[in-house]
Amino acid sequence: MHPLDASEALNFSHPLRDLPQRQAHPARIVWRTPMTCPPHPPDGHVDERLPKMRGIGPKLNQTKFKVGNNSTKVGEQVKYGPTADLSAKQQQKLTDHYGEHGTVKTPQNSLNRLTQYSDSHTTYTKAATASGRPLTEQEALVAGSAKNKAPASSINHVIASGTGQNVLNHETLQFQQGVKNTNAGAQKLSTATTDAEKAAAQQQMRKGLAQQAAGVGRMQGYSRATLAERQGELTPAQVQAKRDGALQNTLTAMQGPDQATRFGAYKDVLKDTFDAPGNLRLGNRTQNTKISTGFDTPLDANGKPTERAERLFHAHQTFGPDRLLTEDRLFTKDDKGEAMSSSKETAKTGDKRKADAADTDAAPSSSKRRKKL
């Protein structure tokens, strides 16, 4: 018998509920060896290992998008934060687990929105260029600015940081429940005398281990997708190292020895994934505020979703919880019913990353998926 390790936590098919039928100690999930990833499939081929998107909520390729202006009115706004769908009791459990940090004026904890991304506009123009993405209209303006700033612009997420923090909070609680079930099952197994009692105890242990694996696996799905978008900006080895680090930090956040250690890892997970250039670009400040927590789809010069948008939307549809994939929690819409975006590219040159794709595991574009059908 041995504890569930990190690689096993990610080897379950979506939605990560299937656990191998074996006994295990109720010990914590442990980090053993870095996960290595096979090469990206050739263009035009679908990676069959990728979980398939579920039929929940609107689809990206069936949605009309528009970058509005200052007079654009919001019709249906998606707006939620780290505490959405959490009861007061659950919020207290998170506070007990991660603690309260920062100051009275600027508190830092799991219940308040954390902002950790670089405020340098050139960070995102350089990342886009290195990764082979066309610049957004705002990113193109940075090059001509003496202050390296684009007017009326902001640093905008594709998958909202509030989404990432909310998911991490919920998965932390699921992990804790998994630990509770695993330990309870182990205790029952130690005193079981009949086959029926042993079977029931083992079943509870398997359920607990599956809950722990699901919590880690969902976060790792998001981490791997957002970090895949940094190919080119970072070398394949650097991307792999950050993926390994994100997995280690997720495990530490969920089962670290004390509040300070857990919260430090919690912040690091978010900073290296949702708040990193792979999930960010420069866009219109006003539209970003209006879109709020909605999935903010980057558009190409023709107003269609970019390939990066498709890949990250695929990740959100695949790893996101059902409660965040409904009509009212995906796209913010204007008063004419069109989905809103805060950025548009300057030229139609595709979304080809320069990196040697030693590994991306990123979702194929919808056009490539259609070729397979």
Q: What would the mean pLDDT of 356-361 be, rounded to a whole number?
A: 38
> Which H or E run includes 334?
strand 333-334
Distances (CA, A) of 127 to 96, 124, 135, 354: 38, 5, 10, 11
Phi and psi of 154, rounded to 5°? Answer: -150, 170
Report helix, strand or coil for 167: helix
**Which stretch, 24-28, 84-88, 106-110, has highest mean pLDDT?**
84-88
Q: Is the dihedral angle over the CA atoms 118, 100, 243, 14 positive or is it negative? A: negative
- The residue with greater pLDDT, 373 or 62, is 62
Tokens of 55: 């039929």
Instruction: Tell me: pLDDT of 328 over 70.
Output: yes
Which amino acid, residue 314? H
Q: What would the mean pLDDT of 18-22 be, rounded to a whole number?
A: 34
Q: What would the mean pLDDT of 198-219 be, rounded to a whole number?
A: 96
Give the pLDDT confidence score for residue 144 in this predicted structure: 75
Instruction: Tell me: pLDDT of 273 over 80.
Output: yes
Give the pLDDT confidence score for residue 85 in this predicted structure: 98
Pairing of strands 339-341, 65-67: parallel
Q: For residue 357, name the pLDDT band (cuts at 50, 70, 90).
A: very low
Q: For residue 104, name the pLDDT band (cuts at 50, 70, 90).
A: confident
Q: What would the mean pLDDT of 281-286 be, rounded to a whole number?
A: 96
Pairing of strands 65-67, 107-108: unpaired
Report residue 5 CA to chain centroid gap: 21
Share of the chain above pLDDT 90, in %: 71
Give the pLDDT confidence score for residue 59 in this predicted structure: 82
Q: What would the mean pLDDT of 172-186 be, rounded to a whole number?
A: 97
Whole-angstrom distance, CA of residue 370 vs CA of residue 77: 31
Give the pLDDT confidence score for residue 25 in this predicted structure: 41
Q: What would the mean pLDDT of 25-39 be, rounded to a whole number?
A: 43
Whole-angstrom distance, CA of residue 341 vs CA of residue 356: 30
Arithmetic mean of pLDDT over the chain: 83
Q: For residue 42, name the pLDDT band (cuts at 50, 70, 90).
A: very low
Give the pLDDT confidence score for residue 318 in this predicted structure: 94
Instruction: Tell me: pLDDT of 358 over 60.
Output: no
Q: Is the pTM of this model over 0.85?
A: no
Report residue 209 CA to chain centroid gap: 22
Sequence-distant (≥ 6) Cβ neighbours of residue 153 within 8 angstroms: 121, 138, 141, 282, 283, 284, 285
Give the pLDDT confidence score for residue 306 in this predicted structure: 96
Give the pLDDT confidence score for residue 289 in this predicted structure: 96
Phi and psi of 76, rounded to 5°? Answer: -130, 105
Which amino acid, residue 210? A
Give the pLDDT confidence score for residue 57 in this predicted structure: 65
